[in-house]
Structure formats: C-alpha cells, structure tokens
Amino acid sequence: MSSSTKQGYKTVFDIPREEYQAPGHGLCAGCTAGTIVRLLLKVAGPNTIVVNATGCVEVSTTTFPYTSWKVSYIHVAFENTAAVASGIEAAIKILKQKGVIDPNKQMNIIALAGDGGTADIGIQALSGMLERGHKVMYVMYDNEAYMNTGIQRSGATPKLAWTTTTPVGKVLKGKLQIKKPMAEIVAAHRIPYVATANPAYFLDMMNKFRRGLEVEGPSFIHVIQPCTTGWRFDPRLGIKIARLATETAMWINWELDHDEFRVTVPVPKRKHVKHYIRLQGRFNHLTDADIEEIQKMVDKEVERINKMVGKEIIGPVVE
C-alpha cells in the first residue's frame, strides 16, 4: 500500500488514479465484481500477488492469451485458493530470511474467490489458513450462487431464492436453507480482522481492504456482489440493488477488528425488504406472505446485531 492509502479513504479524491485491472475483460454488463476487483487493486497497489479461484472473475479476466491483471496473478482450482496463498506467504517469508528478497519489502498476498469456492468447496483450505495464521487477505465476492457454471445454488444462496438446482414449482419454492454466515464462521477462528462490505459503499469497502492488508495475520473480507445474470435484474441496477441490500438490512456492513465489533454503515431508518426483493427475478415467485417471512428473519437479525453493538445502530422499518 502507498502512504496515502494507509491514512484511509474519506472522499473519492483519495482514491488512487493508478489502474491495476486492465479494461476489456469479459465480465457481464453490469457485473459488480469488476467494481470490487478494480477498487481492491487500487488499494493493494503493484506489490501484490493475487491467488484467484476458478469462478466468474477468473474466466472473464484470463482468456488465453490475454490477461486483465497488472499485478502478479495465479489461477487455482476452486478448493485450494487458501492453501496456495498460504504456500506463497510462507515461501516469501523464507526468501526474506535468506536475503533473496529484501526483508523490508512490503508484499500483499490476496486470495480471491467466490461464494462457491469459499463457503462450499474451499472452506477446508480456508480454515487451515486461518488456523495457521498466514498473513493473507482473503476476499470473498459473494454473488450467492455458482454463476460461472450455470447458476447452481451455493451455501451462500439466500433462503427461497431460485437457482437452477433449487427450481420453483410444486415441490420447491426456491432454496430451503438459510444463507451460510461465512464471515461469522471465519470470525470464530479468532483472526485479527473480519469484515463484511458492499460495493455501493465503496469507501467503506476500500477502507476495509486497507485494514485487512495492514493487520498482522490473516484477514477476511466478505463482499456482497449483485449478479445481473443470476439475480435477473437490469444491468443498470447493480449498485442500486447493492445499496438496497444494506438499506433493508438484508446485508449489514460490519467489522470485527481485534475482537472489537462495530457496524460501519448505520441505517437509522430501514426500508422494507420488498424494495430489494421485487427488483430481482430470482424472487419473482414469492408471494407477499413469503416476503413477510423474510422480513421477520431480517428483523430478528437486526435485533441480534443491535444487542451486540449495545444500541440501536439499525433502526425500524419506516418505508
């Protein structure tokens, strides 16, 4: 990170102008993963190694013989992102001890994977990396299904959402299970820094990337990533839907920094979840009663978070 980034981002004028993600990638129109990765690399800077699991970002940025990456990059399988990142971190540590690499050189190691490669297939390697304490920042971009391979459900898919493996019909009304709370599962490993982020609140997200790279030991940033293809919305609505996720408390931006928990984007007046859900085709089958069921789940989660903070940081539904 540059010296300016270490001070944090307060306005858009603080954002570095340098680009480390080249234009011309193959992401879908309106895909918010491009926004997340572009800002992530602006925070990290040139001395960065990205370990990227198979997924939307990988297939769209590395079409042979081209690449969109202006930093060191390695593509790995779904399951071993954290394992490979751990090995790179350990190797660099040894090379610094042997004097092969300048011991004062700051190098960022970022593991980047989607929800399938993190919450399902890669969770074993991730848990090992966290337990061993490698200084790696793991970024999970969460589009809530296996969008790259055909919109199959993942552990991060929300309850009642349509996917190709949770079809809507006489038997099923979308996914039966609740969304896996990955950030909390990671937090249970007692690592230095865990956060959730949202590209609609990009300064908050970038400051979390900054903090994640800064701490000694592993860090984990869980970023919601609206997917125009799998969530079935107009490509121009990606950031609007992302913002509604937080405004309705379907997604809460928080961080746990050395056991200190805080909500980073307070929502004094909350919007009803219907504003978020009705914009997405994957929820088209839901009745008003179904949406009220989701609203009750969100209300319960808001109550739990407010108790953790010790005050009403997320307010009542007013719209």
pLDDT, one tens digit per residue, over 149-165 is 999 999 999 999 999 99
Dump pLDDT digits (tens) for 25-60. 999 999 999 999 999 999 999 999 999 999 999 999
* Tokens 């992401």, located at residue: 27
Average pLDDT, the chain: 96
* The pair of three-digit structure tokens given for residue 109, joined into one six-digit string: 């190691």
The 3-state DSSP class for residue 163 equals: strand
List Cα–Cα distances, 277 to 86, 137, 232, 291, 303, in angstroms.
38, 31, 11, 8, 21
Q: Residues 197, 205: contact at Cβ < 8 Å? A: yes
Sheet holding 254-257, edge to edge: 72-76, 48-53, 108-114, 137-142, 219-224, 193-197, 254-257, 260-263
Q: Residues 61, 115: contact at Cβ < 8 Å? A: no
Look at strands 254-257 and 260-263 and give their pairing: antiparallel
Q: Residue 6 has what pLDDT?
A: 58
Region 209-221: what's the mean pLDDT?
Answer: 97
Residue 101 has a CB neighbour count (10 Å cut-off) of 15
Predicted confidence (pLDDT) at residue 112 exceeds the cutoff of 60? yes
Cα 161 to chain centroid, rounded? 19
Q: Residues 227, 60: contact at Cβ < 8 Å? A: no
Q: Residue 3 has what pLDDT?
A: 47
> Which residues, 6+ apart, have CB-to-CB distance to 127 below 8 Å?
189
